[in-house]
Copies of this chain bind each other. A is one copy, B any other.
Amino acid sequence: MTGPAGPGFPDVAAAAARIAGHVHHTPVFTSHLLDEWCGAGVVLKAENLQRIGAFKIRGATNAVLSLSDDEAGRGVAGHSSGNHAAALALAARTRGIPAHIVMPSNSAVVKKAAVEAYGGIITECEPTVAARDEMLAEVLAATGAVEIHPFDDERIIAGAGTAALELVSEVDDLDVVVAPVGGGGLLSGTSIATHGLRPGIRVIGAEPELAGDAALGIATGIRQPPMPPVTIADGLRTSLSERTFGIISRHVEAIVTVTEDEIVEAMRYVWTRTKLLVEPSAAVAVAAVRRTDLAGARVGVILSGGNVDVDALPW
């Protein structure tokens, strides 16, 4: 159950130094209306305003800048239908090396366009896990590139943790930090960063009920397979790896699940009241705060991203 080692707090601090200047130090926001709605004092960490519109650029940049010159010379490769694809492409461009991205053929056109705009080299595959893994193996064999996994990677986890590092450093009276959980890279990094700085802060995960594998896994102590990819929170459909399961088991107090209706309601509330455009995965964290009794607490929430199709809004 322990799983492969996660990064430690020093790795998160090193990541922050490594990626400074390449990613934004994102602002935090508060709103009295949101406090009332959530029943807690909420501080939003606006990773939707991050480069590529999501926290993913933190981990990708940390991973790419951690490579030796020899490794970097071979380029990087990864699979993603979403934010990791754009993040890896942009991070590679920052270092001037190629990024080979395996994307399912049903990826949104806008996501493919973003990867191409950053100079990423896309290889399409059938939209199944088997086809994806097979295609990535082919790409790795053909190019010799270094694989950068979207979450099951110490460098990615340490980079993801730098958002919480900024948040907890800047807001010194937080009682709780909440982050959404899919594959667990963000929640793992968040928990390591938070407890490294302030061990007393409670760290809570937020997950869609329809992708509640992490909640079930942590509750039972048995890592669960992914559930059918039906939740609107498309960034949270994956399940934990051994590594992220181990880190989250050690660091995270609870994982709160929320319904699809609650996700949409929270997304709409954040849009209309804070004027911040957030994607469903980010809204999951806000919905979890609203659902949980945190009266009197100061709660930091990682708004993971803002990449959403404005032509197909869920209300």
What is A's interface to B at a CB cutoff of 8 Å?
27, 29, 48-49, 53, 268, 271-272, 274-278, 306, 310-311, 313, 315
Copies of the protein in its oligomer: 2
A276 in complex: contacting residue of B268, B272, B275, B315, CB < 8 Å: B275
Shortest Cβ gap from A282 to chain B (Å): 10
Shortest Cβ gap from A252 to chain B (Å): 27
A310 in complex: contacting residue of B53, B268, B274, B278, CB < 8 Å: B268
- What are 13 A-B contacts defined by CB distance under 8 Å? A29-B49, A48-B275, A49-B274, A53-B275, A268-B310, A271-B277, A272-B310, A275-B276, A275-B277, A275-B278, A275-B306, A310-B315, A313-B313
A29 nearest in chain B by CB position: B49
Q: Whole-angstrom distance between the alpha carbons of A271 and B277 in the complex?
A: 7
A274 nearest in chain B by CB position: B49
Pair A49/B271 contact, Cβ less than 8 Å: no
A29 partner residues in chain B, CB cutoff 8 A: 49
Pair B53/A271 contact, Cβ less than 8 Å: no
Shortest Cβ gap from A46 to chain B (Å): 8
Pair B49/A275 contact, Cβ less than 8 Å: yes
A27 in complex: contacting residue of B27, B48, B311, CB < 8 Å: B27
Q: Whole-angstrom distance between the alpha carbons of A311 and B277 in the complex?
A: 14
Shortest Cβ gap from A124 to chain B (Å): 23
Q: Whole-angstrom distance between the alpha carbons of A27 and B27 in the complex?
A: 9
**8 nearest interchain CB pairs?**
A275-B306, A275-B277, A48-B275, A277-B277, A49-B275, A27-B27, A271-B277, A271-B310
A27 partner residues in chain B, CB cutoff 8 A: 27
Q: Whole-angstrom distance between the alpha carbons of A91 and B275 in the complex?
A: 20
A315 partner residues in chain B, CB cutoff 8 A: 310-311
A275 partner residues in chain B, CB cutoff 8 A: 48-49, 53, 276-278, 306
A277 partner residues in chain B, CB cutoff 8 A: 271-272, 275-277
A310 partner residues in chain B, CB cutoff 8 A: 268, 271-272, 313, 315
Shortest Cβ gap from A111 to chain B (Å): 12
A271 partner residues in chain B, CB cutoff 8 A: 277, 310
A268 nearest in chain B by CB position: B310
Shortest Cβ gap from A268 to chain B (Å): 7
A49 partner residues in chain B, CB cutoff 8 A: 29, 274-276
Q: Whole-angstrom distance between the alpha carbons of A272 and B275 in the complex?
A: 13
Q: Whole-angstrom distance between the alpha carbons of A53 and B276 in the complex?
A: 11
Shortest Cβ gap from A73 to chain B (Å): 27
Shortest Cβ gap from A87 to chain B (Å): 15
Q: Whole-angstrom distance between the alpha carbons of A275 and B29 in the complex?
A: 14
